[in-house]
């Protein structure tokens, strides 16, 4: 889209306005499948839970990664008409197309899932016992701890069992009567150290061998059809925000080679949980200047979106704002603030948030428009109503009906 189109949409819908381009979502999904043809996509709902996005990805063939019972209900409520259209039963859809990939789940959420024999992740003896009591018909993936050095958002501090302890826990899980279907990992979000994926896959191959040497099977036949081992490579697939990130195509080549080397003789299914990769570049935010101060040494612009709203990505996802103006003109340094009463609500050189930086814009006046591209992931998903200010309106473009 161009500046004229942005301006027309803002005039029609008001600001702040988040534009979601479904053409880009479809392109991203198809690129992922082209580069990694052996991998089944489970879209990570947490990146952007808009129902329209869920529908678009379902129509492309995607499965879904949920992290809570609420996210699962959102997917089911959204897709029920499409499932009926396609003559797919709810139990069959959950069994084949959903992974509950949060390794720590509320006990209250598990009993209602049990009849669907869901695919769940876990990473501890304690969680395994919880699942055994509350959801004994589940299929399990054990999440292992993997280095996330080089990733923008890290998870290893919170999730994953050490690989050297994995076989023992798998053995105990199988002895308890549960089915271990495979192993999962997550290298952290926006990963630029591709060796982390390779080391994780090598660890999984070793764990598979060790479990078999102990006399146990992963993916045992009996509850979910053929004895196929599941390998969940998580997310972390890099998005080109700044242009200096590593290429996804490079990662895909490395992964495909390692799949063939390590698992060519295994009967495996490979899963992935891309979120950011599918939606980040599909989102563009248009925001409006609500006050322009030129009486200060450096011009200050207060806009109608900020840290507590769509720019929550700055706080929670290390997003680096790159604001651009609809108006042309010579650019100079300025300060940009969000609409709330909190001093934290600043997008330029925020002393509390390390990833903000100098912002350059032409001289603006009240009512002028600013836009931010590549803000479709972890933005509206974590937006709030702080100070009584509602989140940005959302409009969807290029949606196939």
- Evaluate whether 177 touches 129 at the Cβ level (below 8 Å): no
Q: How many CA atoms lie less than 13 Å away from 265 in the CB half-sphere?
A: 5
Give the pLDDT confidence score for residue 187 in this predicted structure: 87
Distance, C-alpha 159 to centroid of its chain: 16
Averaged pLDDT, 282-294: 97
Q: Is the pLDDT of residue 191 over 80?
A: no
Averaged pLDDT, 317-325: 90
Percent of the chain with pLDDT over 90: 79
Token digits of residue 363: 């001289």
Give the pLDDT confidence score for residue 226 in this predicted structure: 52
Quick one: CATH architecture of 22-279?
A: Alpha-Beta Barrel (3.20)
Q: Report helix, strand or coil for 62.
A: coil
Query: SS in 3 state form for 67-116?
Result: CCHHHHHHHHHHHHHHHHHCCCCHHHHHHHHEEECCCCCCHHHCHHHHHH
Q: What's the burial of 95, exposed, middle or buried (CB within 10 Å: 0-12/13-18/19+)?
A: middle
Per the prediction, the chain carries an average pLDDT of 92
Q: Is the pLDDT of residue 222 over 70?
A: no
Among the listed residues 309, 314, 326, 310, the one whose alpha carbon sits nearest the alpha carbon of residue 370: 326
Give the pLDDT confidence score for residue 223 in this predicted structure: 46
Percent of the chain with pLDDT over 70: 96
Residue in the block written with tokens 């549960």: 178
Q: Which one of 135, 191, 300, 341 is the catalytic residue?
A: 341
Beta-carbon neighbour count of residue 344 at 10 Å?
Answer: 15
Give the pLDDT confidence score for residue 166 in this predicted structure: 96
pLDDT band at 155 (very low <50, low <70, confident <90, very high): low
Q: Confirm whether 341 is a catalytic residue.
A: yes
For 25-34, what is each residue's pLDDT tens digit? 999 999 999 9
Give the pLDDT confidence score for residue 188 in this predicted structure: 76
Q: What is the CATH number of domain 3-16+280-397?
A: 2.40.37.10
For 79-111, what is each residue's pLDDT tens digit? 999 999 999 999 999 999 999 999 999 999 899
Least confident of 145-149, 268-272, 280-284: 145-149
Q: Is the pLDDT of residue 294 over 70?
A: yes
Q: Is the pLDDT of residue 131 over 90?
A: yes
Give the pLDDT confidence score for residue 245 in this predicted structure: 81
pLDDT band at 265 (very low <50, low <70, confident <90, very high): confident
Q: Is the pLDDT of residue 17 over 50?
A: yes
Helices (H), 297-390: 312-316
| pTM for the whole structure | 0.94
The residue ranges of every structural domain in the chain are 3-16+280-397, 22-279
Averaged pLDDT, 297-325: 93
Q: How many CA atoms lie less than 13 Å away from 285 in the CB half-sphere?
A: 27
Give the pLDDT confidence score for residue 163 in this predicted structure: 94
For 61-81, what is each residue's pLDDT tens digit? 999 999 999 999 999 999 999
Query: Whole-angstrom Cα distance, residue 396 to residue 19?
Result: 6
Q: Is the pLDDT of residue 255 over 80?
A: yes
- Evaluate whether 58 touches 82 at the Cβ level (below 8 Å): yes
Q: Is the pLDDT of residue 355 over 90?
A: no
Q: Is the pLDDT of residue 143 over 70?
A: yes
């Amino acid at each position: 889209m161009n500046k004229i189109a942005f301006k027309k949409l803002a005039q029609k819908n008001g600001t702040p306005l988040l534009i979601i381009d479904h053409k880009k979502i479809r392109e991203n999904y198809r690129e992922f499948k082209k580069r990694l043809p052996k991998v089944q996509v489970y879209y990570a709902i947490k990146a952007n839970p808009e129902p329209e996005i869920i529908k678009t990805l379902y129509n492309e063939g995607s499965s879904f990664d949920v992290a809570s019972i609420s996210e699962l209900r959102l997917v089911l409520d959204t897709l029920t008409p499409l499932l009926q259209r396609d003559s797919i039963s709810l139990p069959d859809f959950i069994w084949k197309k959903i992974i509950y990939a949060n390794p720590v789940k509320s006990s209250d959420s598990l009993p209602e899932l049990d009849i669907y024999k869901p695919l769940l992740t876990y990473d501890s003896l304690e969680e395994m016992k919880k699942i055994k009591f509350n959801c004994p018909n589940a299929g399990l993936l054990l999440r292992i701890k993997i280095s996330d050095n080089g990733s923008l958002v890290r998870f290893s501090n919170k999730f994953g069992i050490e690989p050297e302890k994995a076989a023992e826990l798998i053995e105990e899980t199988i002895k308890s009567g549960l089915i271990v279907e495979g192993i999962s990992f997550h290298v952290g979000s926006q990963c630029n150290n591709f060796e982390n994926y390779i080391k994780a896959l090598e660890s999984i191959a070793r764990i598979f061998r060790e479990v078999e040497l102990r006399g146990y099977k992963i993916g045992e036949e009996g509850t979910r059809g053929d004895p196929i081992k599941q390998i969940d490579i998580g997310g972390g697939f890099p998005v080109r925000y700044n242009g200096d990130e590593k290429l996804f195509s490079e990662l895909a080549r490395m992964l495909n080679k390692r799949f063939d080397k390590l698992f060519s003789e295994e009967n495996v299914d490979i899963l992935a949980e891309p979120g950011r990769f599918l939606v980040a570049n599909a989102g563009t935010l248009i925001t409006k200047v609500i006050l322009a101060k030129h009486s200060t040494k450096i011009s200050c612009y207060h806009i109608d979106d900020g840290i507590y709203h769509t720019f929550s990505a700055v706080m929670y996802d290390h997003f680096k704002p790159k604001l651009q103006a609809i108006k042309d003109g010579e650019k100079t340094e300025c300060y940009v603030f969000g609409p709330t009463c909190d001093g934290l609500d600043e997008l330029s050189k925020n002393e509390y948030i390390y990833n903000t930086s100098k912002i350059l814009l032409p001289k603006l006046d009240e009512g002028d428009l600013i836009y931010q591209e590549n803000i479709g992931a972890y933005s509206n998903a974590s937006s709030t109503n702080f100070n009584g200010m509602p989140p940005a309106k959302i409009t969807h473009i290029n949606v196939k009906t």
